[in-house]
Structure 1
Amino acid sequence: MQRSHLPPPFPHSLATLASFQETMMKKILLVLLVSLTALAQASEPAQVMIVGTYHFSNPGQDIHNVEAADVSTPARQAEIARVVSALQGFAPTLVAVEWPRPQADERYARYLDGTLPPSDNEVVQLGFRLASAAGLERVHGIDVKGAFPFGPVHAWAEANGRGAELAGLQARAQAEIARFAALQAEHSIGTVLHAMNQPGAISESHALYAALLRFGDDDVQPGVELNAAWEQRNLAICARLLQALRPGSRAVAFFGHGHVYLLRRCVVEAPGVELVEAIDYLPRE
């Protein structure tokens, strides 16, 4: 009898079909798993911590400045090491500082290769040290220049019999600075930073800017112009910070205390970003 050349028996075809279906199901599940993972990563918010600082190296660039103690002493260096160690608990993936980008890029590279001269600046002492401890290849310099037209406010106040009121606001600002200076004389750097980053201290600092809105009349508004210039600079800083973030980023930004209120507000309002309180990590001794 002549042998048949028909396809394999039907049961064997069912086994082949089942194997094919199983393979396809595995591929579909793999694609779904990859897609769901990507979706979860894409929706994972970035976390940002704004750490308000004083200027460690006394540059005297602000209207009111903290007279900083020498941070190069062994005791102060140990305090800074404790601050950096505490902030490492946040597991930062990005560090941003109050320097322009070219300056931060160039100096951090030199810091990593050991050719940067010793510096008391808080960018180096806090920002560079934290980034290096976290194994980061780059520190993001996000500062920008901006106008601070205080002169027209002072001139308007004097011309309108409000000079004493303005002087009172300046005295309040100086008293706040003196309080932090007194703290560092008796307490650690971590304690000072913890006090500076309390919500009440941040709001008090910004209230002095808001009070300047009362200086002006009708079409002459020097207080408005000062606040607008200050806000524009901080928005430009915040824009650079937001542009550096990725889903799931854990960023620490070190900035002068006066910037903190507006930077925090910008972070809170930005979609896909969560604000992390610095006082939850800063040591208090």
Structure 2
Amino acid sequence: MKKLLTLLAYFVVGASCAQTKPTQVLLVGTFHFNNPGADVAQVNTFDVTTPKAQAELETLADKIHLFRPDKVFVEWPWNEQRDLDALYAQYLGGTYAAYVTAKYPKPAQRDFYLKNEIFQLAFRAGKKLNLVRIHAIDYKTDFPGDSVMNAMKAARQEKLAKDVASQLATYQASTNKKLETYTLTQVLLDMNTPESRAFDNSFYLTLMNRAGTADAFVGPFLVAEWYRRNLYMYSLVQKLTETPDDKVMILAGASHTALMKGFIDADKNFEVKELKAIVRLKP
């Protein structure tokens, strides 16, 4: 019996020693630099092409380089990785702007490929890190926003509809003021605070999940689809992060990273590294 207990203790201690420390995940929640107007809340445009914004992006990329993530994950369709690879190859070769300008003559398309945070920050940091690939993790799901609002109307949920409109208006006004008065770095830091994340998450559970009559579930369906999209995105982060990866980075819309913060907190294999800690790093 004593030998058995000794053997069990050996295995327990051995398993404990074999456990690796959690992979650090730098969460960078952001607004969309090119502002395509696809989000529920409509906010003003922030011009990231100005010299000041470009200098800030260069500094942020340098800070990310000091953190040294082994992989960078971005909000790009997961099944279009080849397209992202082709764009990144152009960026690494120094021909990105000319390539995009020639390939996308329509202003809206060109604006996306020149200004979006993937190309302005993730590609910039990836090149400094000598990464061979930027990983796509976005997964599109249904988002019946109009149906949810119609369900509120049918259920005579006037107060709920007003609360939704009020919260969107509050978010838009607050964000627009920050975009007008904050530096780019200050905006990003603000979007990655516990308060901002709580605001993002509460919109879905506190308001949208209640939409409709007792026998209508379009509200919970929308919330479930939102969770599903982010769970699928996080699943890709889990599956693409390999044993040698000590650190990774996720760059996505702030509403995505707000939800992912909870996923990471519940996942013993990962731990969050906040943006505010990264900007304080010294060479």
Q: Give the TM-score normalised by structure 1.
A: 0.80
Q: Which amino acid aligns with 2:230?
A: N
Residue 164 of structure 1 and its aligned partner are, at CA, apart by 4.6
Is 2:59 the partner of 1:63? no
What is the rounded CA distance, in whole Å, between the counterparts of 1:52 and 1:103 in structure 2?
23
Cα pair 1:103 1:141 within 8 Å, conserved: no
Amino acid in the other structure paired with 2:196: A
Ranges in structure 1 where 5+ consecutive residues have no aligned partner: 1-35
Q: How many residues align?
A: 245
> SS of the residue aligned with 2:146?
helix
1:217 equivalent in alignment to 2:217: no
Q: How does 1:14-53 map to 2 (within 5 A)?
A: 43-53=20-30
Among 122, 129, 144, the alignment partner of 1:127 is: 122
CA distance in 2, matches of 1:68, 1:282: 24
How big is each residue's C-alpha offset from its partner over 1:55-82, in whole Å with a ceiling of 9 and x where there is no partner?
A: 1011111121332221111111011112
Residue 154 of structure 1 contacts residue 163 of structure 1 at CA under 8 Å; is this kept in 2?
Answer: no
1:198 is aligned, of 189, 193, 212, to 193
CA distance in 2, matches of 1:110, 1:177: 35
Over 3 Å counting, the alpha-carbon distance change for 1:83 and 1:184 in structure 2 is farther
Question: Corresponding residue for 1:33?
Answer: none
Aligned to 1:266: 263
Asked if structure 2 preserves the Cα contact closer than 8 Å seen for 1:46 and 1:246, the reply is no
Distance 2:71 2:169 in 1: 33
Aligned partners of 1:191, 1:45: CA distance in 2, in Å?
28
Taking a change above 3 Å as real, the CA distance of residues 178 and 102 of structure 1, as seen in their structure-2 partners, is: farther
Report the 3-state secondary structure (helix = DSSP H, G, I; strand = E; otherwise coil) of the residue aligned with 2:173. Answer: helix
- Residue of structure 2 in register with 1:246 after alignment: 242
1:82 matched to 2:59 = yes
Distance in 2 between residues matched to 1:241 and 1:66, nearest whole Å: 29
Instruction: Tell me how far 1:197 sits from its aligned partner.
Output: 0.3
Shift of 1:210: 0.8
Dislocated runs of 4+, deviation >6 Å: none
Quote the residue 1:108 is aligned against. Answer: 88
Q: Which runs of 5+ in 2 are unaligned?
A: 1-13, 101-113
Displacement of 1:186: 1.8
For the residue of structure 1 that corresponds to 2:46, the secondary structure is coil
Q: 1:257 to 1:116 in 2, by over 3 A?
A: same
* CA offsets 1:192-230 (integer angstroms, 9 cap, x no match): 000010011111111011121222333312211111011
CA distance in 2, matches of 1:65, 1:156: 22
The residue type equivalent to 2:233 in the other structure is: I
Alignment partner, residue 3 of structure 1? none
Q: Residue 186 of structure 1 aligns to which amino acid in structure 2? A: T
- 1:39-66 deviations in whole A, cap 9, x for unaligned? 75x6232111211000101111112133
Give the TM-score taking structure 2 as reference length.
Answer: 0.81
Q: C-alpha distance in 2, partners of 1:223/1:154?
A: 9
Provide, for residues 113-148 of structure 1, a one-character-per-residue CA deviation record: whole Å limited to 9, x for no partner.
123226111111111111111111110011111111
| Alpha-carbon distance in structure 2 between the residues aligned to 1:219 and 1:255 | 35
Q: For residue 185 of structure 1, what is the amino acid of its counterpart? A: E
Listed as ranges, the matches of 1:269-280 within 5 Å are 269-280=266-277
What's the C-alpha RMSD, in Å, of the aligned pairs?
1.9
User: Do the aligned residues in 2 keep the contact of 1:144 with 1:233 (CA within 8 Å)?
Assistant: yes
The separation in 2 between residues aligned to 1:88 and 1:65, in whole angstroms, is 32
Overall identity of the aligned pairs, in %: 30
Q: 1:252 corresponds to which letter in structure 2? A: M
